[in-house]
Amino acid sequence: MMMRGIRGATTVKEDNVEEVLQATRELLQIMQRENDFAISDVASALFTVTPDLRSVFPAAAARSIGWDKVPLLCFQEIEVPGSLPLCIRVLVHVNTEKSQQEIKHIYLKEAHVLRQDLTLP
């Protein structure tokens, strides 16, 4: 079995606890469904948020959907002029038999502009 990285990102309309948690839960659940992995297959997850998001750690959303034994870390993205605001990004490390070509990276809402080459139709 190999470990693969699965990337994902989403955006929120404003920085508030429930919106950040809901958007993060949605992102993780779609990533899990589209890549067909169990929580026990997840080795770790790294979250970043843009500097305009301060209300809650996205890792709290992961714990709320059962990822409570998964090592989780949250970081702040670097501020780059003109970059996408109000954005939550994640890199999930998953043990899987899938090849890198079979991995589906998930970019929701306004985050689809980050990697249009990887965005699901």
Which residues are designated catalytic? 7, 63, 74, 77, 89, 107, 115
59 contacts 72 by C-beta, under 8 angstroms: yes
- Amino acid identity of residue 5, one-letter, is G
Closest CA to 90 of 100, 79, 105: 105
Of the candidates 115, 100, 119, the one whose C-alpha atom is nearest the C-alpha of residue 4 is 100
Q: Which residue has the tokens 């169990």?
A: 38
Residues present in the chain in total = 121
Q: Which two tokens stand for residue 34?
A: 């589209």
Distance CA 85, CA 77 (A): 10
